[in-house]
Amino acid sequence: MTDLLSLDLAAARDALRDGKISSLELTDAYLGAMEAASDLNCYITTTPDKARVMAAAADQRLAQGDALPLDGLPLGIKDLFCTEGILTTAGSHILDGFAPTYESTVTSQLWRDGAVMLGKLNMDEFAMGSANVNSYYGPVESPWKSRDGGNARLVPGGSSGGSASAVSARLALATTGTDTGGSIRQPGSFCGIVGMKPTYGRCSRWGIVAFSSSLDQAGPLTRTVRDAAIMLRSMAGHDPKDSTSANLPAPDFEAALTGDVRGMRIGVPKEYRIDGMPAEIEALWARGIEMMRDAGAEIVDISLPHTKYALPTYYIIAPAEASSNLARYDGVRYGLRVEGETLDDMYAKTRGEGFGAEVKRRVLIGAYVLSAGYYDAYYLKAQRVRALIKRDFDEAFGSVDAILTPTAPSDAFAIGENDDDPIKMYLNDVFTVPSSLAGLPAISVPVGLSGRGLPLGLQLIGKLFDEATVFRAAGVLETAAGFSVRPAGGQ
């Protein structure tokens, strides 16, 4: 069993094709691990029967030598992706009992390519959060434990906390996540795995429950950079059902992993040295810079002058869009309905009971910044600042091929630790939000451990639709860092 679980996605793919293992035994190994580690609360819904049926079909194809790109590989799916006939909750009470009649484009492409579905992964409600403590289905726990002597249960980061924790604890070979302001990369960093947010428009948003439409992007969480490249190829591609999906084919990202970054220009933005950043994060970043330099990359000091405005800009735009996107959860057609005396009473009760505190906070902020008299001062100004942030990156990419920064300003914290301070929680996204606002591809690669023995990642940001360069640089950083520590919990 342990042997099977130790295979990463690429290794399992090869073992399946070579007939060394079967998808059914691989799938059963994961289903067993999921059951054993259920206290991490990674999964909201498990689909063992469906998984075995899919695995058996994959085994048949594999036996016939007609292997599909992801044939027989068991994956977990963030519960933001609509999956046909399977409960889809977005981590919210308000979607009680909602089983879509349709399959999201991204997941349908994964199944098209032969992948096996293990279940639906826990997450912050409507992808709002940085610790996965905002789920109606309870917090997700990270398999990692601090070396500081305490036995605190740690957060996996968020909002794709279930997705990150499951990969780290080996409860799935790889998982899908979504990233609006850092929701793939920050949990990737907290859990010591790879998290890739592709360019906005690379993956279809069709069938993904919307949080903030101009920022939401699907992406993979995996054990290795190669695994992320394999996953993204299947997830990406043009979808005429999403008007913001780019009309570009999904390239073979794996082919970009040449291991050669000689002559590549890596930018280091001075504005990311923020006040109060822990020394160990600063040191990790410096180590990463050295690794890239040693590998033959050219390090270039750059400036992204509007960086400090990114977080407030994000926390205006994302809630504004969310306040409108979440208006459809009104108790009329699907999900939770709490009856009331009048129509307005029904709305108020349904939404009052159906949404958690963080979702309500953001809906209120969003409605406020869009309201008459405040629109210009908040939403419109935020859009202007967003344009300046994009311009910063455009200018920087005139002289560099990729940008290296820390992924998050800290290591993982204990469940409940920052719950009473939303601003402190929002600061988790300080390094990931700027590239989200600019729509750029970015990846978090595990590079080292904090003093408490918890994983820390570095982020590589690339040009629009240049995931290839991001993967190539990330592959080199991964190899140089040689991160191989396993968490104490999980399998």
User: Which residues belong to the active site?
Assistant: 78, 159, 183
Q: Which of 39, 120, 6, 26 is nearest to 73 (CA)?
A: 26
Question: Shortest distance, CB of residue 54 to another protein, whole angstroms?
Answer: 22
CA angle 479, 481, 482 (to 5 degrees): 65
SS3 state at 83 = strand
Q: Which of 55, 151, 171, 38 is nearest to 111 (CA)?
A: 55
Residue tagged 């989200």 (tokens): 436
Between 84 and 271, CB nearer to another protein: 84
Between 100 and 490, CB nearer to another protein: 100
Q: How far apart are CA 74 and CA 72, in angstroms?
A: 6
Quick one: which of 112, 147, 328, 384 contacts another protein (CB under 8 A)?
Answer: 328
Quick one: which of 207, 220, 288, 356 contacts another protein (CB under 8 A)?
Answer: 207
Is 377 an interacting residue with respect to another protein (CB under 8 A)? no
Is 87 an interacting residue with respect to another protein (CB under 8 A)? no
Question: Shortest distance, CB of residue 239 to another protein, whole angstroms?
Answer: 9
Between 207 and 487, CB nearer to another protein: 207
Is 99 an interacting residue with respect to another protein (CB under 8 A)? no
Between 324 and 479, CB nearer to another protein: 324
3-state SS track over 344-409: HHHHHHHHHHHCCHHHHHHHHHHHHHHCCCCCHHHHHHHHHHHHHHHHHHHHHCCCCCEEEEECCC
Quick one: which of 298, 330, 419, 466 contacts another protein (CB under 8 A)?
Answer: 330
Q: Which of 95, 91, 171 is nearest to 131 (CA)?
A: 91
| Count of other CB atoms within 10 angstroms of residue 214 | 16
Is 213 an interacting residue with respect to another protein (CB under 8 A)? yes
Q: How many residues belong to the site for another protein (CB under 8 A)?
A: 43
Q: Which stretch binds another protein (CB under 8 A): 28-36, 238-246, 276-284, 306-314?
A: 238-246
Is 95 an interacting residue with respect to another protein (CB under 8 A)? yes
Quick one: which of 39, 149, 263, 333 contacts another protein (CB under 8 A)?
Answer: 333
Is 342 an interacting residue with respect to another protein (CB under 8 A)? no
Is 225 an interacting residue with respect to another protein (CB under 8 A)? no
Q: How far apart are CA 69 and CA 61, in angstroms?
A: 11
Is 93 an interacting residue with respect to another protein (CB under 8 A)? no
- The separation between CA 50 and the C-alpha centre of its own chain, rounded to angstroms, equals 24
Q: How far apart are CA 397 and CA 5, in angstroms?
A: 40
Is 280 an interacting residue with respect to another protein (CB under 8 A)? no
Quick one: which of 27, 130, 212, 444 contacts another protein (CB under 8 A)?
Answer: 212
Is 209 an interacting residue with respect to another protein (CB under 8 A)? yes
Q: Which stretch binds another protein (CB under 8 A): 93-101, 179-187, 261-269, 281-289?
A: 93-101
- Pairs from 249-256 (Cβ < 8 Å, separation ≥ 24): 250/202, 251/467, 251/468, 253/228, 253/229, 253/467, 253/468, 253/471, 254/226, 254/229, 254/230, 256/229, 256/467, 256/468, 256/469, 256/471, 256/472, 256/475
Is 343 an interacting residue with respect to another protein (CB under 8 A)? yes
Is 334 an interacting residue with respect to another protein (CB under 8 A)? yes
Strands 298-302 and 265-269: parallel
| Count of other CB atoms within 10 angstroms of residue 35 | 12
Is 243 an interacting residue with respect to another protein (CB under 8 A)? yes
- Cα pseudo-dihedral 461, 462, 466, 469, rounded to 10: -80
SS3 state at 431 = coil
Helices (H) and strands (E) counted in the chain, each on its own, are 16, 11
Q: How buried is 67 (Cβ within 10 angstroms: 0-12 exposed, 13-18 middle, 19+ buried)? A: middle
Quick one: which of 151, 342, 372, 482 contacts another protein (CB under 8 A)?
Answer: 372
Is 147 an interacting residue with respect to another protein (CB under 8 A)? no
Is 118 an interacting residue with respect to another protein (CB under 8 A)? no
Question: Shortest distance, CB of residue 57 to another protein, whole angstroms?
Answer: 26
Question: Shortest distance, CB of residue 104 to another protein, whole angstroms?
Answer: 6
373's CB contacts (< 8 A; 6+ apart) are: none
Is 104 an interacting residue with respect to another protein (CB under 8 A)? yes
Q: Which stretch binds another protein (CB under 8 A): 96-104, 229-237, 392-400, 427-435?
A: 96-104
Q: Which stretch binds another protein (CB under 8 A): 5-13, 116-124, 162-170, 367-375?
A: 367-375
Longest CA–CA span in the chain (Å) reads 70
Quick one: which of 22, 27, 88, 350 contacts another protein (CB under 8 A)?
Answer: 88
Between 318 and 425, CB nearer to another protein: 318
Which string of b and e fits 176-209 if b means at least 16 CB within 10 Å?
bbbbbbbbbbbbbbbbbbbbbbbbbbbbbbbbbb
Quick one: which of 15, 53, 99, 214 contacts another protein (CB under 8 A)?
Answer: 214
Question: Shortest distance, CB of residue 314 to another protein, whole angstroms?
Answer: 14
Q: Is the peptide bond before 159 cis (omega within 30 degrees of 0)?
A: yes
Question: Which residues would be at the binding site for another protein (CB under 8 A)?
Answer: 81-82, 88, 90, 95, 98, 100-102, 104, 205-210, 212-214, 240-244, 320-321, 323-324, 326-328, 330, 332-334, 343, 347, 367, 370-372, 375, 379
